[in-house]
Amino acid sequence: MPALIFDCDGVLADTERDGHLPAFNETFAEFGLSVRWSDEEYARKVKVGGGKERMRTLLTPEFVAARGLPSDPAALDEQVARWHRRKTEIYTGIIRGGSVPPRPGVRRIAAAAHEAGWTLAVASTSAEASVRSVLELAMGPELAAHFSVFAGDVVQRKKPAPDIYDFAVRRLGLNPADVVVIEDSRNGMLAALGAGLACAVTTSAYTGEEDFTGASLVVDSLGDPPPEETVTHVLSDPLGVRPGPRVVLADLAVLPSADGAPDSTTSDPPVDGPHPRPH
């Protein structure tokens, strides 16, 4: 059975700049840490997989001593966990407030995949509560109920390690040759490729200049038809998929095949309309 696995942040919604960054900064302020990440600084932090892991980048010996933080590693880990729990609460409040819109095309493609009988999942290194809030925002409650969610500390090593995708494939009983991953970052792409999965990339606010060598398709957006029309711009297309003004399920269905040959058992529902096939 074919499967479509989405990353969360940057794929379902462009949450890093307008969700995670303000949530981190509000958390730092609440705990009196005298830290405020700028947009430029956070563009570097997003390359660190996992929220707690990003917070730990603060913990130089000088920072720990200046803030009176515990020197015992276990106590310091618990302090970071408290910061992160509060950050997750702030972040989910931002998402539920509706100020961060879903990215174009994600609900359309997920609905087409569900209609075609594909397995749907999200695999993310963000906290599970955060992921579920974005999933419901992006997909709506009815479609979100058909997703399996693999998130947070379900694996020890975060992206770019392949562990989260290996775990999802095992738990869902999938054949890696039938899986397509949609990612937005190089770390996410490397995780998918490391698990032996085909990966399409839709670049996001902080990832447009990253190196996506190895991805099967790279676009700036999955695109949507009118009235919300967003047109897909192809950035890399090594398999010659040649998507039209928007990426459709049939485009993704060919990606696990090295030569781009379409799978005759998979087609788009009529909602996505006719689409040229690769030659």
Active-site residue numbers?
7, 9
Q: Tell me which amino acid residue 138 is.
A: A
Cα angle 97-87-153, degrees, rounded to a multiple of 5: 110
The verdict on whether omega for the bond into residue 102 sits within 30 degrees of 0, i.e. cis, is: no
Here the tokens at position 223 are 């695109």
Q: Tell me which amino acid residue 50 is.
A: G
**What is d(CA 239, CA 254) in angstroms, rounded to the nearest whole number?**
9
Q: Which residues contact 246 (CB under 8 A, 6 or more apart)?
A: 104, 105, 108, 222, 223, 224, 225, 230, 231, 232
- Residue 275 contacts residue 252 (beta carbons within 8 Å): no
Q: In a 3-state reduction of DSSP, which class is residue 224? A: strand
Q: In a 3-state reduction of DSSP, which class is residue 38? A: coil
Q: Which of 141, 223, 230, 225 is nearest to 182 (CA)?
A: 223
**What is d(CA 180, CA 156) in angstroms, rounded to the nearest whole number?**
23
**What is d(CA 258, CA 127) in angstroms, rounded to the nearest whole number?**
34
Cα angle 248-252-254, degrees, rounded to a multiple of 5: 125
Element (DSSP H or E) covering residue 64: helix 61-66
